[in-house]
Amino acid sequence: MSPITIEKRQKLVKVIGTFFMLKFYIDSRKALLSFMLQYGLKNKWFKKTRRAVTKKPRIKWSVLSANLSDEKFRRTFRMTRECFQQLCFKIERAIGEKEFRSEDYLQDPSNYRDFRLYKSHMIRFGGYISGEIKLAITLRLLAGASYLDLELIFKVPNHTIYRIFHHVLKQWICNDKVLQIDFYKDGSDIAAMKQTSKSFAQGTSKGIIGGCIGAIDGLLIKMEAPSKSRDNVKNVSNFYSRKGYYAINTQVIVDKQKRVLWFAIKSKGSEHDSSAFKITSLYHNLVKSHQWYIDHGFYLIGDSAYAQRPFLITPYDNAKPGTKKDAFNFHLSSCRIYVECAFGEMYKRWGILWRPLSFKLCNSIRIIESIFRLHNMIIQFELDNNIRTFNQSDQQFMSEEMLTRMSVNISDFLGYFGEDPIMPSDKKTRDYKHDKKEKRLFQLGKELREKICNAIESDGLRRPKTNIRRDEFNIVYCDE
């Protein structure tokens, strides 16, 4: 082993000295920083940059439901407690319990991941928003509530309320697996049509109007002016109706139980009822198979806004009191009035219609469709359980609430006026005035109407005399 030279010894001393100097420097820096941190915290030099975690106590659905009486629950959510539970069950069965996440499912320890999620939300936010709470928020918004009130009740941020609202409408309520309207999807269901026509025949028509498979009418839904850029609308003025506001023209067919059998949300507010119905796929199917409907004696009934067809019976114009045409109009109106009643019931139940819809055009269409589906579900629940939830007290309560908050009268929505959504283009509808096929259909419709009118006259049916009124000039007129 060679001896260490003086130069190597000097280098080694420098390396060792540098190492100890660096170690001393690092230790001193650590000590200085530790001293400054402790001294600074003691004298409040530093402020906490992270917001303190605050626990927001959210009300559970079980607690909220228990605090509401049956009557209060019905008026709050526009349906009975049992109907609400049935709707939750349908949604959970259609989309799965993991997607719906009911309160019982979240509190079940066997669902390890969701249970841990529930616990973490309990610590961070004060509770998880269960499926029942999401559905309750949606129903309250449809009933006309404000998101500010819902934020206080459910302890949900205001930016989350409408996100829940549109998600529930799109994924849950407008889901065909949950609630479906498909009566006219298959036009060959003779048994269903016979059942519907049989219910219409039982009434003032004495069975004369016995082939009616639905009453059709148009409903104007008030909305704010659509946006050209947001809604892809080229001509906004097409949505301006003759009533004096922007609206969506919705065509609806109902049965005698006021269930919606078919609807089309395709037309703008300025569209006439007759032309709005003619651009639907149902009308084209009826035209193609009109002879089948004639052979089986099936037809729709509508007001004088629609064109007379062999599959669509309309009243006579300017019928004189006491004539057979007047008697026909009375009995036809007695069957057609159910579509007006359905509109009035939906309008009074869902307060979101009391003001103009201020959403995107696609979201407004989804809201209207959701109202139709929920209306059917409520009516069917009442028929299955032989109950009537929309009683006189509810009508009085909702009428008082409606008068204090609405911006338009119910008469503006009614009167003359499952399809694809509104077409964004401004394509004009087809001119049927000089169409030979349409003229032929009009003639066949007149013959069918005359046949029914003669049957009413032969049976001696007339408009009841108690229905006749006189105005201030002593001129006779008739209420329909």
How far, in Å, CA of 115 to CA of 105, rounded?
A: 8
pLDDT tens digits, 29-54: 667 667 666 655 555 555 554 454 44
**421 or 376: which carries more pLDDT confidence?**
376
Give residue 26's pLDDT band: very low, low, confident or very high (50, 70, 90).
confident
pLDDT at 319 over 80: yes
How far, in Å, CA of 470 to CA of 13, rounded?
A: 125
Is 119:106 a contact under the CB 8 Å cutoff? Answer: no
How far, in Å, CA of 449 to CA of 311, rounded?
A: 10
Give residue 451's pLDDT band: very low, low, confident or very high (50, 70, 90).
very high
What predicted TM-score, i.e. pTM, was given to this entire model?
A: 0.78
Which residue, among 225, 255, 219, 240, has the nearest Cα to 346 in the 3D structure?
219
The CA dihedral of 173, 178, 184, 189, to the nearest 10 degrees, is -170
Q: What is the average pLDDT across 344-354?
A: 94
Q: What is the average pLDDT across 84-103?
A: 92
Beta bridge partners of 217: 252
Task: Please report, for residues 201, 243, 292, 438, the alpha-carbon distance to residue 188 in angstroms, rounded to integers and kept in the order given.
Answer: 20, 38, 10, 23
How far, in Å, CA of 240 to CA of 255, rounded?
A: 30
**188 or 137: which carries more pLDDT confidence?**
137
Quick one: pLDDT at residue 32? 67
Quick one: pLDDT at residue 201? 85
Tokens of 206: 């004495």
pLDDT tens digits, 424-450: 444 444 445 557 888 899 999 999 999
How far, in Å, CA of 273 to CA of 307, rounded?
A: 9
**297 or 424: which carries more pLDDT confidence?**
297
Is 280:434 a contact under the CB 8 Å cutoff? Answer: no
- Residue 111, exposed/middle/buried by CB under 10 A (0-12, 13-18, 19+)? middle
Percent of the chain with pLDDT over 70: 72
Give residue 414's pLDDT band: very low, low, confident or very high (50, 70, 90).
very low
Quick one: pLDDT at residue 363? 94
Task: Please report, for residues 128, 158, 172, 182, the alpha-carbon distance to residue 100 in angstroms, rounded to integers and kept in the order given.
Answer: 12, 21, 9, 25
How far, in Å, CA of 350 to CA of 190, rounded?
A: 33
Give residue 107's pLDDT band: very low, low, confident or very high (50, 70, 90).
confident
- Residue 335, exposed/middle/buried by CB under 10 A (0-12, 13-18, 19+)? buried
Residue 230: what residue type? R
